[in-house]
Structure 1
Amino acid sequence: MGKKKINSLDDLGGFVFSTNDSFEFNKQENQETLAPKQQFLEALFSNKGRGGKTVTVISGFIGSEDDLKSLAKILKTKCGVGGSVKDNEIIIQGNYRDKLMEILKKEGYNVKRVGG
């Protein structure tokens, strides 16, 4: 099984350098997912840095990456649009902020509207 690619210093969890030749870096990936009632998510509309294309970003999810991806799949299916999961955020194509907030509230999440 291959090692997970490290994209930034944040992926190292604060570890920067070691002089120990036999050191093995093991990142903890078993983060426990909080229940929907304990999650405080933020929904924001954005088009900056995306070539003028509009997206809705859901951030603030605390839990495993698999649970985040399954939540993203639910949201994309219910809106009938594409999207992705990147940097612990769910990115949905288009301006679906109100619809996504409604879906998340029905799922039991606490959602806050951010920005205009």
Structure 2
Amino acid sequence: MSSKKISLADWQQQLGGQSTPKPTTPTVDGLVYSTDSGRIDTPKAEKSTGQTFADGFLRLKRETKGRSGKGVITIAGIAEPEEKLAEIAALLKKKCGCGGAVKDGIIEIQGDKREVIQQELTKLGYKHKWSGG
């Protein structure tokens, strides 16, 4: 039994001129996969995760609720992408010598380091005010 090898285009033409199905994933310039980098997805636009307040000030707040009595300073109002918030949080954690996190666009710094946080945010060019207790 001998089988003749034919190209994909010739095979599709023999089947009745059916064209190849369109890719279902979003593409960049019609490319779906590259041997250099793998699957090619459309670039996603950066979105800011934090919310800003109407007066343009950041809100610094000392909270203990839901944390077994342990206090944290929360910083809200920075309308920056998640990566920038993480950089700011890392800088503040290093300056304060404590831990912290970024959750839902709000930076949390463990402990009560009000003066250090105020100084660093002023150096970064942010206007801030204390809210709450």
TM-score (norm 2): 0.58
**2:75 aligned with 1:62:** no
Change (3 A) 1:49 1:77: same
Q: Which has the higher contact order (CA 8 A, sep 6+)?
A: 1
CA offset at residue 29 of structure 1? 5.2
Name the structure 2 match of 1:95: 112
CA distance in 2: counterparts of 1:69 and 1:29, whole angstroms: 18
| Separation in 1, partners of 2:45, 2:89 | 19
SS of 1:31's equivalent in the other structure is: coil
Runs (4+) of structure 1 moved beyond 6 Å?
Answer: none
**Residue aligned with 1:85, SS:** strand
CA distance 1:30–1:55, change in 2 (3 Å): same
What's the C-alpha RMSD, in Å, of the aligned pairs? 2.4
Q: Alignment partner for residue 47 of structure 2, among 3, 20, 31?
A: 31
Q: How many residues align?
A: 87
Q: What's the TM-score, normalizing by structure 1?
A: 0.66
| Residue matched to 2:123 | 106
Amino acid at match of 2:117: L
Amino acid at match of 1:111: H
What stretches of structure 1 of length at least 5 have no aligned partner?
Answer: 1-21, 34-38
Q: Which residue of 1 aligns with 2:132?
A: 115
SS in structure 2 of the partner of residue 105 of structure 1: helix
Following the alignment from structure 1 to structure 2, what is the Cα–Cα distance between the partners of residues 29 and 50?
35
Unaligned runs of 5+ in 2: 1-23, 27-43, 50-55
**1:11 corresponding residue in structure 2:** none
Percent of aligned pairs with the same amino acid: 42
Structure ranking higher in helix proportion:
1
